[in-house]
Amino acid sequence: INKLKIAPSVLAADFTRLGEEVRAAEQAGADWIHFDVMDGRFVPNISIGVPVLQALRGATSLPIDVHLMIVEPDQYIPIFAEAGANSISVHVEACPHLHRTLVSIAQAGCRVGVAINPHTPAIMLQEVMPLLDIINVMTVDPGFGGQSFLDGSLSKIAQLRAMAQAVGRDIDIEVDGGINTETTPRAVEAGANVLIAGTTIFRHKEGIQAGVDALRAAAS
Ligand code: DX5
Ligand code: ZN
């Protein structure tokens, strides 16, 4: 079944030394790098985009997992793919033609992901389950790092894992927001296998290695 993966979110990194931070995460044993794109419309914050992704692509050989918190993502999918994304997740809430959007992610050569906000029921993903490689279960309201994990997400993780198993797919189920050593065991027990963490890794007081190690220990 799905291997546990740790995906540090660069949103919490020191942007003045982004390359070093990401190389440190890679050396610490991170599995993927999580890259949060915010447009100031889908979410009330603006983060980073294509030029930063291009720069990061040259700084790490890890898969880069792009999380598009943007309205009308379709036109940007080939651009983020070209800039170095290995996987792209769009928000179900931002996609009136979700099926078409997901097909275009696959056509762009990326693993296909969908992100789901805390208020959105799991059933919204039922019909696209056969297309998915990744589900990002938002465990905070998206837009900012450093928020508290919403416990209501746990039952949704379990539902989505059951839905994935029912269609016979080893979907990577990510949890995104408020992931720390206290919330990790509960998220993993519910069925998540990809831990996205910004604050816990990049702001760990003993450094990035300690942050990655703490999460891995908490997951096992
Ligand atoms: C939130 C982003 C997250 C964020 C998580 O909108 O999608 O990836 O970086 O940050 P922490 O781990 O600090 O909650
Ligand atoms: Zn994210």
170 alpha carbon – ligand 1 mean position (Å): 24
Residue 188 CB less than 6 A away from ligand 1: no
Residue type, 57: R
Q: What is the pTM of this model?
A: 0.98
In the chain, the domains with their CATH numbers are 5-219 (3.20.20.70)
pLDDT at 1: 67
176 in active site: yes
Let me know: does 154 contact 187? Beta carbons within 8 Å: yes
Closest CA to 33 of 71, 80, 66: 66
> Which residue's entry shows tokens 């692509």?
57
Q: What is the pLDDT of residues 6-45, one digit of tens each?
A: 999 999 999 999 999 999 999 999 999 999 999 999 999 9
Any atom of ligand 1 within 6 Å of the Cβ of 156: no
Q: Considering only CA atoms, which residue is closest to atom 4 of ligand 1?
A: 145
State whether the beta carbon of 196 lies less than 6 angstroms from ligand 1.
yes
Over residues 111-142, the pLDDT tens digits come to 999 999 999 999 999 999 999 999 999 999 99
ipTM of predicted assembly, 2 dp = 0.98
Spatial distance between the Cα atoms of 167 and 179, rounded to a whole number of angstroms: 28
Closest among 55, 109, 104 to 81, alpha carbons compared: 109
